Structure 1
């Protein structure tokens, strides 16, 4: 495994925990951190023994406070475009990882940090979490997918208000608009996320992977094409050993022993 400077990668059986570890910079995303995230997800997404990935930020103040403004301040248009392309490639890698990715959001998730949560499948926030896309306060727009994923998640009107005003919202409002799945006390954040991960790990791995593909790809289609796509994906499950084991175990009234095949 690669040694990282700005992130930490820990493994707990079938769970990988990725922590952005720049607490003095409130875990802000600079070029090196994005590159390390890219390498990290290239490695763990291809590890078929891992069933769930948990993404979080080190310390108690921030998940990720944003992209590193001191790094970006003197960029020209070409450099900024290249930086955005790097950010997008990381977000797409997280979004397209075969494993479900759970964001454990503690403290600030602003700008690039909010965009990082949007690339995850499930978002669990602590009570002290804050969310926002405040880029307009800096004279720019989101560069890592915020203007595209946020409207798809919370709706165009709500997203437009957040993007145009640059407002920062607390975890209660984030839950109300559907930006996060649930809000838990700060000291329960990691245990809650790990409990969700354990539950996912107990299910058919092949079915979970196919389900993630179906959700992500189907959301880009109209309902008629998406329904046809789901039927095809459903059929693919029946080419797996997990389907045979799952249904046999159900009829035999015993827990299934899934292998991921």
Structure 2
């Protein structure tokens, strides 16, 4: 029996969705993911999180449709409230997150990938929000996060038509950040994670937070937050270490202090 969610702890933590054959979102997998995210967030070593699906058929092909009958008239308490909580956990991680997408990322699977800060797709990846074909709507953030990433017009096209996008199209509209050879999305995500993990961790986490707030605040408010954050960053030991390492022409050793 699959573990549903597997985790590897460390500086570059990895979370694997493992619900074969298509890693669909079941209630049990969502609950396991919640526990895993709590543990990863609490681990002081964590500087980056990579999220991927087991196998090469799917990152996550969406909700477990077999559960729909039981959810009739009670989808909020039976499914969406927990999903929204867990997906928000992903979006609000203190460290950057990277989705490595192979195969299908559909429905709730794509909505989960949208919560990550960065998305890398293999060339054979297929992405979409086809919920309207089933007579339902994206209910785990798709109608809200997708427009913020690709713009309202593109989001309406993707959701209202329900068409599945190939990786190159997803790249062209900014839905994914990079496209790599099929089967190498995880390797590319690991490489990217290692690059980010080598940066100053306080600065990385602060930058992520500032960027996340940029779309929610007026420009002057955001600039004020940026100034306050910079004041705090320049008082850290990491800021001194970065400057000293640069002048000494050596790699910096950041400690997060």
TM-score above 0.5: yes
Unpaired runs of 5+ residues, structure 2, are none
- Distance in 2, matches of 1:10 and 1:257, equals 23
Mean Cα deviation higher: 232-241 or 143-152: 232-241
Matched residue, 1:158: 154
Q: Find 1:8's aligned residue among 1, 6, 9.
A: 6
Matched residue, 1:23: 20
- Distance in 2, matches of 1:167 and 1:222, equals 34
After the TM superposition, which residues 127-166 of structure 1 pair with which residues of structure 2 at under 5 Å, given as runs? 127-166=123-162
- Distance in 1, matches of 2:154 and 2:197, equals 34
TM-score, length-scaled by structure 2: 0.95
1:80 aligns with 2:75: yes
1:13-52 alpha-carbon deviations (Å, 9 max, x no partner) = 411111100113x100011100111110011012111111
Q: Secondary structure at the match of 2:105?
A: strand
2:101–2:186 Cα contact (<8 Å) kept: no
Q: How many residues align?
A: 255
Matched residue, 2:122: 126
1:225 aligns with 2:221: yes
Q: Find 2:239's aligned residue among 237, 240, 243.
A: 243
1:27–1:63 Cα contact (<8 Å) kept: yes
Q: Secondary structure at the match of 1:220?
A: coil
* RMSD between aligned residues: 1.3
1:218–1:229 Cα contact (<8 Å) kept: no
1:190-212 alpha-carbon deviations (Å, 9 max, x no partner) = 22111111111111011111111
1:162-197 alpha-carbon deviations (Å, 9 max, x no partner) = 111111111011001000001111232222111111
- Distance in 1, matches of 2:82 and 2:99, equals 20
- Distance in 2, matches of 1:61 and 1:128, equals 10
1:216 aligns with 2:226: no
Deviation at 1:251, TM superposition (A): 2.6
2:52–2:101 Cα contact (<8 Å) kept: yes
2:102–2:183 Cα contact (<8 Å) kept: no
1:218–1:230 Cα contact (<8 Å) kept: no
Deviation at 1:224, TM superposition (A): 2.1
Unpaired runs of 5+ residues, structure 1, are none
1:219–1:226 Cα contact (<8 Å) kept: no
1:7–1:20 Cα contact (<8 Å) kept: yes
- Distance in 2, matches of 1:105 and 1:229, equals 33
1:94–1:120 Cα contact (<8 Å) kept: yes
- Distance in 1, matches of 2:35 and 2:70, equals 26
